[in-house]
Amino acid sequence: MNINDAIKDRISVRAYLDKAVSKDTLTQILDTARWAPSGTNTQPWKIVVVQGETKQAISDAFLDAHNKGIKPNPDYLYYPEEWVNPYKARRFQCGMDLYKALDIGREDKEKRVKASLDNYRFFGAPVSLFFFIDKIMGKGSWFDMGMFYQSVMLAAREHELGSCPQASTSDYPDIVRDILNVPNNFDLMCGLSLGYPDDSKPVNQYRTRRDDVESFTTWAD
């Protein structure tokens, strides 16, 4: 697949076919992504590939924690504590576009909550990858993790797979570490749902918007 197409055509897939992804395919994706750059070649990524009963156990534990009113306690703050523009406006527009694709009205709180909880069900994807990083590593290594993460998503496109990056699946890191037997010295960065997209679903047919190049670029000649 052409690199430009892989980048531009990638979307956050929120509906998947009931079709398994082979271990060989997953290995090929990770074998490609491992060539992502990292400062002084530290390669700070630790990945756990989750499927089947283990994935279901994590999903059930997430939903149980939510239903019991347990507040999320992620290992880090993904979003700012106080939103300001232009980020606030972009976030709002993103949410409105998503709910429109899901045919959920602005005042329909029940359906909005259900749609939000689908994050904890991995949107029905057959595979979820959990990305961990040793707590000893600095901010630069998180930058490296981002490059590796993007490489996984783009490599998946070569195999006609879709993915959805999910910060939400790091809401309860202790649950994930416990079920996956990951030591406490690793932070849970994010999850990534992965599978074959169900292109018949409207939620996979809308696109989030992007500002043009001139809006974020300064040319210093």
Q: What is the CATH number of the domain that holds 115?
A: 3.40.109.10
Cα–Cα dist 66/110, whole Å: 15
Closest C-alpha to 144, from 10, 3, 31, 33: 33
| pLDDT score recorded for residue 68 | 97
| pLDDT score recorded for residue 99 | 85
Average pLDDT over residues 104-129: 91
Q: Is position 160 within any domain?
A: yes
| pLDDT score recorded for residue 73 | 97
As beta bridge partners, residue 12 has 163
Q: Is position 24 within any domain?
A: yes
| pLDDT score recorded for residue 182 | 98
| pLDDT score recorded for residue 152 | 98
The pairing of strands 162-166 and 45-51 is unpaired
pLDDT in tens, 34-87: 999 999 999 999 999 999 999 999 999 999 999 999 999 999 999 999 999 999
For all residues of the chain together, what is the average pLDDT?
Answer: 95
Average pLDDT over residues 135-161: 97
**Taking a C-beta distance cutoff of 8 angstroms, is the pair 161, 19 a contact?**
no
Domain that holds residue 167: 8-208
- Which of 9-18, 100-109, 110-119, 158-167 has the lowest average pLDDT? 100-109
Q: Is position 108 within any domain?
A: yes
> 151 CB contacts (<8 Å, ≥6 apart)?
32, 33, 35, 36
Q: Is position 64 within any domain?
A: yes
Q: Is position 59 within any domain?
A: yes
Tell me whether residue 183 is exposed, middle or buried, using C-beta atoms within 10 angstroms of its C-beta: 0 to 12, 13 to 18, 19 or more. exposed
| pLDDT score recorded for residue 113 | 85
Kindly state the percentage of the chain with pLDDT values over 90.
Answer: 86
| pLDDT score recorded for residue 111 | 86
- Which of 54-63, 87-96, 190-199 has the lowest average pLDDT? 87-96
Q: Is position 70 within any domain?
A: yes
Average pLDDT over residues 161-166: 97
**Taking a C-beta distance cutoff of 8 angstroms, is the pair 179, 61 a contact?**
yes
The answer to whether residue 137 scores a pLDDT higher than 90 is yes
Which of helix, strand or coil describes residue 79? coil
Q: Is position 217 within any domain?
A: no
Q: Other C-beta atoms within 10 Å of 177: how many? A: 20
Which parts of the chain are beta strand (E)? 45-51, 127-134, 162-166, 186-195
Report helix, strand and coil shares of the chain as percent, to nearest 5.
50, 15, 35
**How many domains does the chain fold into?**
1
Q: Is position 172 within any domain?
A: yes
Place of tokens 């991995």: 122
